[in-house]
Chain A
């Protein structure tokens, strides 16, 4: 899919430029935008180093586990098929906390472990269980407190207030997460009905 998007954008652009007489602009932008990308990556280094460094401290101090504990009552309701003290619940909670702090790289392995445990609970079936679908819905709507990458990009292009989008992002992410849970529930009850 990415391959198609990537080629289509460039190919359509070049062909369109041929008819539109903008081939000079295209020529120029090929090299200047590559340079922009490098400058952007360098500005990303600053934010990523600081944030991941800080979050490593949070992880070592046990803040992630504390947070997981805080969310446990909500999650036992979200995942009624998983016993509260099952390892699957632990991994789901730590995956959620890691995502909350924008630790995508730490969240992914935890999420995979959670999926493994949920598969065991589902008798090793190759069909996605109810809990798995809920877990994916949560992950795709991704609750994040601090959108670090976007803040870095805004800084790179001289924003007067690079962090002013934090509150709008948190509210939007909350709405989309609640929406995801509701949609997930809707489809679950629909499946139940069709079984009868």
Chain B
């Protein structure tokens, strides 16, 4: 059921935007092209970040160190029914956007996008943002020196997000 809704969300958004844009007399195609140029810039500027991080993570995996780490924590996590492969992603998600994106990519590639781990990694990566980045950018830009409880609140919210991804994925894709 929910999987079917998923398939409808994107086409419906596209339809709404195109029809509403036409109704509001926006030069739709020209505007599309103009906005699309930004997409090219964005993807290209992402390349060095992704490449560096993916190479580093691939070395870590190919050496066998990742498997060793996963095997080490597996006995504890299997009690809670948590797949240990997901732990590196859960740890890096609040710290670095590119690192977690690279780890999610690595998981999707090695475990397969339609495997449970692949679906879980996709959900986890998409459902929260990088707390440390948001804090640095927003507080840094306006010169806030005392963050108060912001870091604690952000990290706790990330923890909730990670648990939520796990539970939701078990319920929807459950294996």
The interface of chain A, by Cβ under 8 A from chain B, is 1-2, 5-7, 9-10, 12-14, 16-17, 20, 22, 25-26, 28-30, 32-34, 36-38, 40-42, 44-45, 48-63, 105, 108, 111-112, 115-116, 119, 126-128, 132-133, 135-137, 139-142, 144-147, 149-150, 153-154, 157-173, 175-177, 179-180, 183-184, 187-188, 191
Q: Assuming the A-B contacts A1-B132, A57-B26, A176-B157, are A165 and B38 also in contact, with contact meaning beta carbons closer than 8 angstroms in the complex?
A: no
- Which 7 residue pairs spanning A and B have beta carbons closest together? A56-B35, A147-B126, A176-B161, A179-B160, A53-B36, A180-B157, A159-B113
B139 & A128 in contact (Cβ 8 Å cutoff): yes
A29 / chain B contacts, CB cutoff of 8 Å: 55, 58-59, 61-62
**SS class, residues of chain B in contact with chain A:** helix
Do A127 and B56 touch across chains, with their CB atoms under 8 A apart?
Answer: no
* B42 and A52 contacting across the interface, CB-CB below 8 Å: yes
Q: A10-B55, A10-B60, A139-B138 are in contact. Are A146 and B10 (CB under 8 A)?
A: yes
B108→A49 contact, CB < 8 A = no
Cross-chain contact of A164 among B3, B52, B56, B104 (Cβ < 8 A): B3
- Contact residue among A37, A57, A188 (Cβ-Cβ distance under 8 Å from B35): A57
A56-B31, A157-B112, A167-B172 given as contacts; is B40 within 8 A of A150 (CB)? no
A33 vs B156: C-alpha distance in the bound complex, in angstroms?
33
Q: Which of B1-17 contact A (CB under 8 A)?
A: 2-3, 5-7, 9-10, 13-14, 16-17
Query: Which residues in A have their C-beta under 8 angstroms from that of B31?
Result: 53, 56-57, 60
Give CA–CA (A139, B149) in the complex, Å: 15
Interface residues of B (CB under 8 A from A): 2-3, 5-7, 9-10, 13-14, 16-18, 20-21, 23-24, 26, 28, 31-40, 42-44, 46-47, 50-65, 68, 92, 94-96, 98-99, 101, 104-105, 108-109, 112-114, 118-119, 122-132, 134-135, 137-139, 141-150, 152-154, 156-158, 160-161, 164-165, 168-169, 172-173
Residues of chain A with a CB closer than 8 A to B147's CB: 128
Given contacts A136-B135, A150-B126, contact A50 B36 (CB under 8 A): yes
**Do residues A165 and B32 form an inter-chain contact, with CB atoms below 8 A?**
no
Closest-by-CB residue of A relative to B135 is: A136
CB<8 Å pairs between A and B, sample of 25: A17-B64, A34-B54, A40-B54, A41-B51, A48-B40, A48-B43, A49-B36, A52-B35, A53-B39, A54-B13, A57-B18, A63-B17, A112-B142, A115-B139, A115-B141, A136-B154, A140-B157, A141-B160, A147-B127, A154-B108, A157-B109, A163-B6, A168-B119, A171-B168, A188-B149
The answer for the CA separation of A52 and B145 in the assembled complex, in Å, is 34
